[in-house]
């Protein structure tokens, strides 16, 4: 039974905060949500959603350019970037309006303002209209998200041609050249967008591989595809400094022990994000944190009774779907139920062309943990649907425990990988084995057949591939 009428204050209206607010309201809570900007947070306004609109536009352009291969006579005369940006903004607005509607439907009071702690149970809010309000008592859920990290590279802060992901979503024109510092998720997604729109893209990544947390074999395939499409990629390359140049910016890089210079019209700085908790005055409430990253337990409780924290402000896995689930967990606990967060089934989804998704352990993780495992790979070249959709580029890889053949991880590079991964997350959540995947009948012709074939390949009985 939940504590009906419990007062709940949520700070931050992104996919963590607004979901927490709705869940608390569903359970009978009297909920107030404080948001300083627009509801929907980074995800809806300057993150997941607008990026995906640009990616969709870029993919449409690529499809149109290849339509002739299928006998469709398309004469692509170019694109209207302003219209692309307008579409991006209209999709974001539509979704934000939807969240506003959900707040009203769930009787959640929304305050447009900035909150800070004055004690362990009191928040002081400076509202957008200049008025102030003090909120006390009740349960508090912190969901203030993250902001782009600025690396201490000399020249970055001072150079107007250096932008972050928010800036990259609203460039007035397509740049002729773009250098991206950081080959992580943001780096590769923007590389995919702008290279498809004709920008000369260069990625500089400090570590030996792009997307360091993703499955290595598939990351190498993606890198290959990106390089073939004209993107220049330098790994084990460290940016030393940025200077002005007539083109825009000159970026000095240490690569393989030597100095190398690049010039680009724009420099996208994508070296990670940091927890956005500075303005909260966590010390006044006595909330434990590591350099601003709030510490919580599996119930999303901080060390201070009645204060919870969720999502990017924990500085751990910065994904909208993680924040939302943690929001539900925090709200349920705040309302007197018992809930806990388990990240075992978190899918990682990267919206490149082709898409890249993974859930569970990578082969590298299994090795590091000393787990005995086997793998099964299935190339999408042998999957009819993939062949139609993107010429069969990509692969599915499953990682299984050696003794019991339980599914430890599944990784997919290919069209719709970010959708197909849901089946694999469910399989891992239900502790399924290879048998379960194989016994499940997958429709033909679909991309999902490739997941089953990868499982068959682990047993060396794949039907549409030569088993080695
Ligand atoms: P990231 O951590 O994914 O990648 C940053 C990369 O920059 C790393 O590979 C790192 O090695 C590299 N790097 C750091 N300092 C560097 C330097 N000085 N020179 C060169 N390389 C350097 O961070 P991000 O790409 O900025 O993304 C931020 C967060 O947003 C991530 O947590 C990400 O998961 C999330 N995000 C997710 C999605 C998605 O789920 N599709 C999309 C965008 C962002």
pLDDT in tens, 255-301: 999 999 999 999 999 999 999 999 999 999 999 999 999 999 999 99
**Tokens 């430890």 — which residue?**
408
Q: Write the pLDDT tens digit of every residue in 88-127.
A: 999 999 999 999 999 999 999 999 999 999 999 999 999 9
Kindly give the distance from the C-alpha atom of residue 185 to the centroid of ligand 1, in angstroms, as a whole number: 5
Domain boundaries, position 175: 162-271
Residues 198 and 323 in one domain: no
Q: Where is the domain boundary, 271, 290, 311?
A: 271
Considering the domain boundaries, does residue 156 fall inside one? no
Considering the domain boundaries, does residue 237 fall inside one? yes
pLDDT band at 240 (very low <50, low <70, confident <90, very high): very high
Residues 362 and 452 in one domain: yes
Q: Where is the domain boundary, 310, 341, 372?
A: 341
Residues 312 and 359 in one domain: no
Considering the domain boundaries, does residue 445 fall inside one? yes
Q: Where is the domain boundary, 271, 299, 316?
A: 271
Residues 326 and 373 in one domain: no
pLDDT band at 137 (very low <50, low <70, confident <90, very high): confident
Considering the domain boundaries, does residue 157 fall inside one? no
Residues 431 and 350 in one domain: yes
**Where does ligand 1 bind, in terms of residues with CB under 6 Å?**
151, 181-187, 189, 204-207, 212, 238-239, 270-273, 318-319, 349-351
Q: What is the mean pLDDT of residues 328-345?
A: 98
Mean residue pLDDT of the chain comes to 97
Specify the residue with its C-alpha closest to ligand 1, atom 15: 271
Specify the residue with its C-alpha closest to ligand 1, atom 4: 184
Of ligand 1's atoms, which has the minimum distance to the CA of residue 182? 7
Residue-wise DSSP of 385-453: HHHHHHSS--EEEEEEETTT-BEEEEEEESTTHHHHHHHHHHHHHTT-BHHHHHHSPPPSS-TTHHHHH
Q: What is the mean pLDDT of residues 18-42?
A: 98
Q: What is the mean pLDDT of residues 390-406?
A: 97
The dihedral built from the CA positions of residue 272, 368, 223 and 355, taken in this order, carries a sign that is negative
Q: What is the mean pLDDT of residues 406-422?
A: 98
Please indicate, yes or no, whether the overall pTM of this predicted structure exceeds 0.85.
Answer: yes
Q: What is the CATH number of the domain that holds 245?
A: 3.50.50.60
Kindly give the distance from the C-alpha atom of residue 315 to the centroid of ligand 1, in angstroms, as a whole number: 13
Residues 168 and 187 in one domain: yes
Of ligand 1's atoms, which has the minimum distance to the CA of residue 211? 9
Kindly give the distance from the C-alpha atom of residue 181 to the centroid of ligand 1, in angstroms, as a whole number: 9
Q: What is the mean pLDDT of residues 28-38?
A: 97
Considering the domain boundaries, does residue 382 fall inside one? yes
Is the distance from CB of 300 to CB of 308 less than 8 angstroms? yes
Residues 251 and 372 in one domain: no
Considering the domain boundaries, does residue 86 fall inside one? yes
- Residue 1 predicted with pLDDT over 90: no
Q: What is the CATH number of the domain that holds 361?
A: 3.30.390.30
Q: How far is CA 279 from the centre of its chain?
A: 24
- Residue 468 predicted with pLDDT over 90: no
Specify the residue with its C-alpha closest to ligand 1, atom 24: 272
Residues 267 and 307 in one domain: no
Considering the domain boundaries, does residue 463 fall inside one? no
Residues 351 and 430 in one domain: yes
Residues 13 and 136 in one domain: yes
Kindly give the distance from the C-alpha atom of residue 236 to the centroid of ligand 1, in angstroms, as a whole number: 15
pLDDT band at 221 (very low <50, low <70, confident <90, very high): very high
CA distance 57 to 392: 21
Percentage of the chain beyond pLDDT 90 is 98
Kindly give the distance from the C-alpha atom of residue 184 to the centroid of ligand 1, in angstroms, as a whole number: 4
Residues 370 and 332 in one domain: no
Give pLDDT, residue 3: 84
Kindly give the distance from the C-alpha atom of residue 339 to the centroid of ligand 1, in angstroms, as a whole number: 30
Radius of gyration of the chain, Cα coordinates, nearest whole angstrom: 24
Counting ligand 1 atoms within 8 A of each CB, the residue from 150, 186, 254 with the most, and so the one to mutate, is 186
Asked about 444 being catalytic, the answer comes back as yes
Give pLDDT, residue 9: 98
Counting ligand 1 atoms within 8 A of each CB, the residue from 55, 182, 202, 262 with the most, and so the one to mutate, is 182
Q: What is the mean pLDDT of residues 137-146?
A: 96
**Of the candidates 149, 148, 118, which has an alpha carbon nearest to the alpha carbon of residue 135?**
118
Residues 142 and 278 in one domain: yes
Considering the domain boundaries, does residue 322 fall inside one? yes
Give Cα separations from 210 to 179, 186, 217, 369, 457 (angstroms). Answer: 15, 11, 11, 22, 27
Number of domains comprising the chain: 3
Of ligand 1's atoms, which has the minimum distance to the CA of residue 151? 18
Task: Out of 321, 411, 444, 464, pick the active-site residue.
Answer: 444
Give pLDDT, residue 2: 75
């Amino acid at each position: 039974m939940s504590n009906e009428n419990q007062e709940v204050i949520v700070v931050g209206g992104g996919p963590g905060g607004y979901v927490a607010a709705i869940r608390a309201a569903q359970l009978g809570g009297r909920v107030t949500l404080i948001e300083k900007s627009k509801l929907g947070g980074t995800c809806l306004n300057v993150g997941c959603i607008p990026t995906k609109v640009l990616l969709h536009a870029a993919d449409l352009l690529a499809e149109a350019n290849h339509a002739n291969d299928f006998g469709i006579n398309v004469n692509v005369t170019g694109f209207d970037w302003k219209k692309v940006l307008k579409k991006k903004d209209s999709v974001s607005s539509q979704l934000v309006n939807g969240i506003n509607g959900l707040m009203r439907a769930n009787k959640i009071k929304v305050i447009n303002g900035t909150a800070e702690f004055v004690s362990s149970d009191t928040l002081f809010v400076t509202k957008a209209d200049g008025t102030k309000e003090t909120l006390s008592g009740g349960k508090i859920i912190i969901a203030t998200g993250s902001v782009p990290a600025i690396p201490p590279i000399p020249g970055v802060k001072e150079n107007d041609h250096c932008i972050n992901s928010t800036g990259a979503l609203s460039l007035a024109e397509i740049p002729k050249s773009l250098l991206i510092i950081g080959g992580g998720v943001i780096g590769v997604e923007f590389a995919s967008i702008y290279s498809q729109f004709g920008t000369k893209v260069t990625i500089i990544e400090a570590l030996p591989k792009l997307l360091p947390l993703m499955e290595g074999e598939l990351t190498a395939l993606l890198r290959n595809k990106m390089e073939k499409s004209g993107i220049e990629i330098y790994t084990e390359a460290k940016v030393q400094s940025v200077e002005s140049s007539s083109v825009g910016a000159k970026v000095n890089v240490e690569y393989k022990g030597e100095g190398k210079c690049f010039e680009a019209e724009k420099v996208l700085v994508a070296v990670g994000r940091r927890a956005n908790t500075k303005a909260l005055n966590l010390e006044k409430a006595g909330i434990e944190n590591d350099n601003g990253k709030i510490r919580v337990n599996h119930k999303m409780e901080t060390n201070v009774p009645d204060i919870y924290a969720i999502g990017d402000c924990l500085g751990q896995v910065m994904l909208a779907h993680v924040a939302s689930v943690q929001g539900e967990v925090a709200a349920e606990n705040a309302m007197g139920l018992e809930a806990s967060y388990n990240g075992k089934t978190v899918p990682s989804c990267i919206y490149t062309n082709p898409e890249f998704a993974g859930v569970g352990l990578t082969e590298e993780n299994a090795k590091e943990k000393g787990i005995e495992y086997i793998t099964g790979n299935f190339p999408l070249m042998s999957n009819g649907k993939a062949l139609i959709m993107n010429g069969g580029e990509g692969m599915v890889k499953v990682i299984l425990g050696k003794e019991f053949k339980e599914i430890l991880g599944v990784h997919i590079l290919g069209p719709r990988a970010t959708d197909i991964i849901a089946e694999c997350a469910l399989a891992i959540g239900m502790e399924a084995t290879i048998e379960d995947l194989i016994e499940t009948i997958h429709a033909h012709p679909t991309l999902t057949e490739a997941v089953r074939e990868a499982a068959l390949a682990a047993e060396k009985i794949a039907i549409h591939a030569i088993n080695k």
